[in-house]
Amino acid sequence: MEKDLILTCDTGTTGCKCTIFTPKGEALCSVRRDYSTQYPHPNWAEQDPEVILRAMYDGIRELLKQVSATRIACIGLSGTMDGCIPVDAAGKALYPNIIHSDGRSEKQVEEILRHISFEEFYKMTGNRPDTHYTLPKILWLKENKPEVYRRARWYLNIKDYLYGSLTGRWGYTDYSDASLTSALDINKRAWADALLQELDVDPATMPTLLKGHDVRGKITREVYRQTGLITGTPVAIGGGDGACATRGAGVAQAGSAYTNMGSSAWVCQLSDHPLLDPKARIFNWVDMNGEDYHVCGTVQCSGSAFDWGIRTLLGGGDQWSDVSLVENLARQVGPGAEGVLFLPTLMGWRTPYWDANTKGCLMGFSLYHGQRHIARALYEGVAFALNSCLEVMVECGAPAHSMMLIGGGARSGLWPDMLASIYGVTIQVHRNPDEATSLGAAIAAGVGVGLFSDYTDAASMVTTRSTHPVNPQWQAVYRQVYPIYADIYERLRPLNDRIAALDFNA
């Protein structure tokens, strides 16, 4: 039987999605297994790698009830970035995965900045010194869990942990996940050994770098017994979810961009070089191919802020369980929501301000305004926040020439029209917007086993559901409203800082 299918495992924040793709990028079948995040202390966020591994195995077993394992040509992997899993030489996890949203390592970020300036760190890594990344989490383990730190052979991200479990090859990662450890020199595409040594971290504990389409890993006999996958099936190490989403969105050349709308959201484009903003508002990582670069700006709280607004500002309840009803309500008002503005900064503001003290804000309303205005403002607030990311790229000389929309927000009929008129760029909506990340993992695996000649070839199979041009009338209104939105941050910052300083336990 011909080996003509690609199986992918995409481990997100809330669950693992296992999908089988054809070489034309069609998803034959997909299953999802959810898992939880633990929050043992304020600002902490951890997950058990073994729970995620079992979820993946369970998903694979379910898929192989529908498709013969003999047809699987290769396995592709994707997972959340910025994590930290210390493992021993046998691949045993010594501590939970300290995931991307964990912010316990503020003290360690300060330690890093005692050894290297903010500017030099950003220039070398393409990223700001920040608690979300892996390096300060390693330093936290060093200070607070010395026994774990002593025993750790490697520090891995979740997809690297799954790769080791599937293949028995431990201590490997790809260039994209390596980039967002903030311990990679993205200019040299090599670990920043001098910085690691300065911080008294052994560079040998950082995993070996591979291209995402590297398929030297093979399914082991033990994994065959666990899942039914054929022993010897190639496994591509794949990439971080952001890198896979880019490729799954069909982005294949410099100036091509996409917007991903989920609980958080981001705007990302490919570049042939790092795009280093003098104000460090955007960040960079190396592509899975080890050659290109991703330039990204992120909105920490988008879909989750939108959902909060429905629950809290619109009263929640069963009447809003169908989001299309909220959208229809928002369509009853024209662009600009007759002056009502919403800042979706319910978890602080990343691009462009990187300010954890920023709070959400609804303003401009009066006794005249009603739920329809709030609904419209919820949509526009998220869209304006995304535009503030794209605006920085344009300012740095990297305008987007095309824009694909993926993620849960792409199912909306209103957001694509709104984003086109705010961005000033025609929006293409991905045919399968919820599958883009998994499709990117499939592309890397397919390149590895020769189903695609390269990433550009594979991008040609990505198709669109709809096209949304700029509406000149909407654009004219948004050109008046957006500058007001963009001015809110600086006006409110002193007040937000004072709120953050309040002690309600006194």
- Confidence (pLDDT) at 147: 98
Q: In terms of residue numbers, what domain contains 161?
A: 5-237
Q: Is 12 part of a structural domain of the chain?
A: yes
* The pLDDT of residue 506: 67
pLDDT at 316: 74
372 pLDDT higher than 70: yes
Tell which residue, 501, 429, 438, has the closest CA to residue 464.
Answer: 429
Sorting pLDDT into bands at 50, 70 and 90, what band is 504? confident
Whether residues 228 and 357 fall in one domain:
no
Asked if residue 81 belongs to a domain, the reply is: yes
Question: Does residue 472 belong to any structural domain of this protein?
Answer: no
Give the end of a domain, one of 237, 258, 275.
237
- 3-state SS, one letter per residue, for 262-315: CCCEEEEEEECCCCCCCCCCCEEEECCCCCCEEEEEEECCCHHHHHHHHHHCCC
- 29 and 112 co-located in one domain: yes
Look at residue 415 and tell me whether its pLDDT is greater than 80: yes
d(CA 58, CA 64): 10
Number of helices followed by number of strands (H, E) in the chain? 17, 24
Do 193 and 58 belong together in one domain?
yes
Residue 156 scores a pLDDT above 80: yes
Q: Are residues 115 and 12 in the same domain?
A: yes
Average pLDDT in the 415-444 region? 96
Confidence at 377, pLDDT banded by 50, 70, 90: very high
Question: Average pLDDT of 106-118?
Answer: 97
Helices within 1-105 (DSSP H only):
49-63
Distance CA 274, CA 292 (A): 9
Give the end of a domain, one of 237, 257, 280: 237
Find the distance separating the first CA and the last CA of the chain, reported in whole Å: 71
Do residues 146 and 32 share a domain? Answer: yes
The answer to whether residues 214 and 341 belong to one domain is no
Based on the fold, state whether residues 211 and 332 are members of the same structural domain: no
- Average pLDDT in the 81-96 region? 97
Do 313 and 226 fall within a single domain? no
If asked whether residues 230 and 378 sit together in one domain, one would say no
Residue 350 falls within a domain, yes or no?
yes
pLDDT computed for residue 347 by the predictor: 86
Within a domain: residue 9? yes
Range name among 56-60, 66-70, 161-165, 298-302 with the lowest pLDDT average: 298-302
d(CA 387, CA 142): 39
How many C-beta atoms lie closer than 10 Å to residue 447's C-beta?
A: 27
- The CATH number assigned to the domain holding 225 equals 3.30.420.40
Domain count, the chain: 2
pLDDT computed for residue 323 by the predictor: 87
Residue 99 maps to a domain: yes
Banded pLDDT at 318 (limits 50, 70, 90): confident
Dist. CA 47–CA 50, nearest whole Å: 9
| pLDDT for position 63 | 97
Same domain, 146 and 17: yes
Average model confidence (pLDDT) for the chain? 95
Q: What is the pLDDT of residues 436-485, one digit of tens each?
A: 999 999 999 999 999 999 999 999 889 999 999 999 999 999 999 999 99
pLDDT at 75: 98
Among 220, 237, 254, residue at a domain's last position: 237
Confidence band for 101, pLDDT divided at 50, 70 and 90: confident
Q: Give yes or no: residues 309 and 168 share one domain.
A: no
Q: Based on the fold, state whether residues 233 and 312 are members of the same structural domain.
A: no
Residue 176 lies in a domain: yes
Q: Is 333 inside any structural domain?
A: yes
pLDDT score, position 1: 61
